[in-house]
């Protein structure tokens, strides 16, 4: 309570803020361009662009969200990341009021730093990293003693005032101004000095232990160029940018709760408008990781093929996997905003995808690993073997396509076994099974093997009144099917909640590639197989039995294994835990 006294006073500039904002309510989405956006960011965007306003009853015409690049650490930030953030945000359908860069405020931030030095609320510090750590540790021990009603001078006495409170706290304003100016001019080495805020070592919150506001870094900045060799810290920058942009609600994730205090301390010290801060829980999703540090490692070590690998929980990976903005935003709406930490079940996301895709994707038949079947009595068939298939199993309005039973067809190899058994519904030697759309049976007469491998089956059609009633009707594809490569994805991790040993928990079988797959030729009506550029349509298909698929959007991905001209990625199976 002692620490928060000043935070509870309404800021002097609240009235001015209200005058500037009028009825407008403003939030911001401030990613750091040090990686690609992931599904956790999708939750944050959904919150900042939509949910927060709904909760606050802000009418649509008064809602504003700023898209801010929180770019204060040039070591980790790149132009590639900057571009990807914008692309993914736009793809998800969000329309920012404007796009800003924290680094555009570097000049102003420096002026504020000077102001704090003049107010004796900031000082230049020459303590080493190790000294600062010792300082922090001792201050924490003393705070713990105080919290337990013990005497900190007994429990954790101060033995070296150079460390706590530190030897630089009482440097004169003139000397501090001179040192800060020299830091900015590039007269010191990296790590030699920092600018620190003169906060409170008696606080119970370690984020109040004289935070570093500026550090020296001789790294050019991807947006601001090479004009600076000192860079403001996240804590120093963030609140000031919120305030300068007239943000009403600054929404962040729960781990920032303890940063509220320095956030308000800084704005109070500078007499700036203080936005309301709200924390929500981070999204954690089963079978994946959502920390950029870990995602970068997956990319750098080649576990995945890139940030947009369909197994990645990134927005670009999910897009390539066949997830649409509707699916992702519906999912975010459903999980809402909570303050309790939890891990969301992956089936929740998958079920959202199925519901959306069932309504919008076109049906077709395929064989992932085809096995050839020669029909021996084809010429004896009197009926015309062209069948009508509804494009959507649930929506007759979506029209129909046809599929033709030819003298050679292909089944998926999982639908044939040399040995039959009771619980097995597929084909086996001398067994009869139904064929989808044809309605009659296929009876296996002969298995042709070459070097111990089954290369072909022979069978006849039977549509007679006395035929065996089949247990199931298999999907198949005709002889003029289109070759394609089909990639089936599984979880990136073998356990629902990857631990600290997460690298050992990576699933070695997260991708299965079927390079000789076949798909019925009707899909040429929706996928132009001759013009690769038209694939950008993100066409979705539901392949009977195998799941929902999307045409792979990455036309640059020219895998050595790629044989077919069409590449399909599986978005999700048709039913939970079933299918291939």
Least Cβ distance, residue 29 to ligand ATP (angstroms): 6
348 touches ligand ATP (CB under 6 A): no
Query: Percentage helix, strand, coil, to 5, in the chain?
Result: 35, 25, 40
Least Cβ distance, residue 318 to ligand ATP (angstroms): 14
Kindly tell me which of 295 and 371 has the beta carbon lying closer to ligand ATP: 295
N residues, the chain:
580
CA angle (270 as vertex; 268, 272 as ends), nearest 5: 70
Least Cβ distance, residue 284 to ligand ATP (angstroms): 7
Q: Which residues of 474-505 are buried (b: 16+ CB within 10 A; e: fewer)?
A: bbbbbbebbebbbbbbbbbbeeeebeeebeeb
DSSP 59: -
Kindly tell me which of 102 and 352 has the beta carbon lying closer to Mg ion: 102
DSSP E strands: which ranges in 136-179?
none
* Closest-CA residue to 556 (of 577, 536, 578): 536
278's tokens: 């709200």
Stretch that binds ligand ATP, among 27-35, 192-200, 210-218, 517-525 (CB under 6 A): 27-35
What mask, x for binding ligand ATP by CB under 6 A, covers residues 51 to 90? -------------------x--------------------
CA angle (329 as vertex; 327, 332 as ends), nearest 5: 110
43 touches ligand ATP (CB under 6 A): yes
* Residue 40's binding partner out of ligand ATP, Mg ion, none, with CB under 5 to 8 Å set by partner kind: ligand ATP
How far is it, in rounded angstroms, from Cα 572 to Cα 289? 19
Q: How far is CA 48 from the centre of its chain?
A: 16
Alpha helices in 31-151 (DSSP H): 39-46, 52-55, 79-91, 106-118, 129-147
* Residue 283's binding partner out of ligand ATP, Mg ion, none, with CB under 5 to 8 Å set by partner kind: ligand ATP
Q: What does DSSP say about strands 432-435 and 473-474: parallel, antiparallel, or unpaired?
A: parallel
Residue located via tokens 């900190």? 152
Contact positions with Mg ion (CB under 5 A) in 110-149: none
What mask, x for binding ligand ATP by CB under 6 A, covers residues 377 to 416? ----------------------------------------
235 touches Mg ion (CB under 5 A): no
Contact positions with ligand ATP (CB under 6 A) in 269-328: 282-283, 290-292
CB 225 within 8 A of CB 247: no
The three-state secondary structure class of 136 is: helix
* Residue 443's binding partner out of Mg ion, ligand ATP, none, with CB under 5 to 8 Å set by partner kind: none
Kindly tell me which of 290 and 574 has the beta carbon lying closer to Mg ion: 290
* Residue 30's binding partner out of ligand ATP, Mg ion, none, with CB under 5 to 8 Å set by partner kind: ligand ATP
* Binding residue (CB under 6 A) for ligand ATP from 11, 26, 36, 44: 44
Contact positions with Mg ion (CB under 5 A) in 10-39: 32
Residues touching ligand ATP: how many (CB under 6 A)?
15
DSSP 379-395: GG--S--EEEEESSSS-
Kindly tell me which of 33 and 166 has the beta carbon lying closer to Mg ion: 33
How far is it, in rounded angstroms, from Cα 67 to Cα 61? 18
Catalytic residue numbers?
A: 32, 282, 292
Residues that bind Mg ion (CB under 5 A): 32
Residues that bind ligand ATP (CB under 6 A): 30-32, 40-41, 43-44, 70, 252-253, 282-283, 290-292
């Amino acid at each position: 309570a002692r620490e928060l006294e000043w935070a509870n006073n309404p800021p002097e500039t609240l009235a001015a803020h209200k005058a500037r904002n009028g009825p407008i309510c403003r939030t911001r989405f401030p990613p750091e361009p040090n990686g690609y956006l992931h599904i956790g960011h999708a939750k944050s965007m959904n919150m900042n662009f939509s949910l927060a306003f709904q909760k606050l009853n802000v009418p649509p015409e008064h809602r504003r969200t700023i898209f801010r690049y929180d770019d204060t650490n040039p070591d980790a930030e790149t132009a590639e990341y900057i571009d990807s953030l914008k692309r993914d945000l736009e793809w998800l359908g969000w329309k920012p009021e404007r796009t800003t860069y924290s680094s555009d405020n570097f000049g102003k931030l420096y002026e504020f730093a000077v102001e704090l030095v003049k107010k004796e609320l900031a000082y230049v510090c020459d303590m080493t990293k190790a000294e600062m750590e010792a300082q922090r540790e001792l201050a924490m021990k003393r705070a713990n003693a105080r919290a337990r009603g013990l005497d900190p001078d007994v429990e954790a006495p101060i033995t070296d005032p150079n460390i706590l409170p530190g030897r630089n706290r009482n440097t004169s304003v003139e000397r501090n101004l001179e040192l800060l100016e020299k830091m900015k001019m590039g007269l010191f080495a990296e790590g030699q000095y920092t600018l620190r805020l003169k906060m409170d070592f008696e606080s119970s919150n370690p984020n109040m232990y004289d935070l570093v506001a500026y550090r020296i870094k001789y790294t050019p900045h991807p947006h601001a160029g090479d004009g600076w060799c000192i860079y403001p810290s996240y804590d120093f920058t963030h609140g000031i940018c919120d305030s300068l942009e007239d943000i009403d609600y600054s929404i962040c994730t729960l781990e920032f709760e303890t940063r509220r205090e320095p956030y308000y301390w800084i704005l109070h010290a500078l007499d700036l408008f203080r936005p309301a801060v709200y924390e929500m829980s981070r999204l954690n999703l089963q079978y994946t990781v959502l920390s950029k540090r870990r995602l970068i490692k997956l990319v750098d070590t080649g576990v995945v093929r890139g940030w947009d690998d369909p197994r990645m929980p990134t927005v670009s990976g999910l897009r390539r996997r066949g997830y649409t903005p509707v699916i992702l935003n519906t999912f975010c709406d459903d999980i809402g905003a909570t303050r309790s930490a939890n891990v969301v079940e992956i089936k929740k996301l998958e079920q959202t995808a199925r519901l959306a895709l069932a309504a919008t994707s076109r049906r077709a038949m395929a064989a992932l690993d085809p096995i050839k079947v020669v029909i021996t009595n084809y010429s004896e068939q009197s009926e015309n073997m062209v069948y009508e298939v509804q494009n959507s199993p649930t929506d007759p309005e979506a029209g129909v396509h046809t599929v033709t039973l030819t003298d050679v067809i292909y089944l998926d190899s999982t639908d044939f076994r040399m040995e039959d058994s009771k619980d097995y519904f597929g084909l086996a030697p001398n067994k009869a099974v139904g064929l989808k759309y044809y309605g009659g049976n296929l009876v296996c007469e002969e298995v042709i093997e070459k070097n111990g491998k089954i290369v072909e089956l022979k069978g006849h059609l039977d549509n007679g009144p006395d035929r065996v009633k089949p247990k199931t009707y298999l999907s198949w594809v005709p002889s003029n099917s289109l070759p394609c490569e089909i990639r089936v994805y599984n979880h990136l991790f073998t356990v629902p909640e990857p631990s600290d040993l997460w690298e050992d928990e990576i699933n070695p079988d997260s991708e299965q590639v079927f390079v000789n797959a076949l798909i019925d030729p009707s899909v040429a009506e929706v996928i132009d197989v001759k013009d690769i550029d038209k694939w950008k349509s993100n066409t979705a298909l539901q392949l009977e039995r195998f799941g929902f698929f999307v045409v792979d959007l990455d036309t640059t991905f020219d895998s050595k294994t790629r044989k077919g001209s069409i590449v399909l990625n599986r978005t999700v199976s048709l039913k939970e835990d079933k299918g291939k």
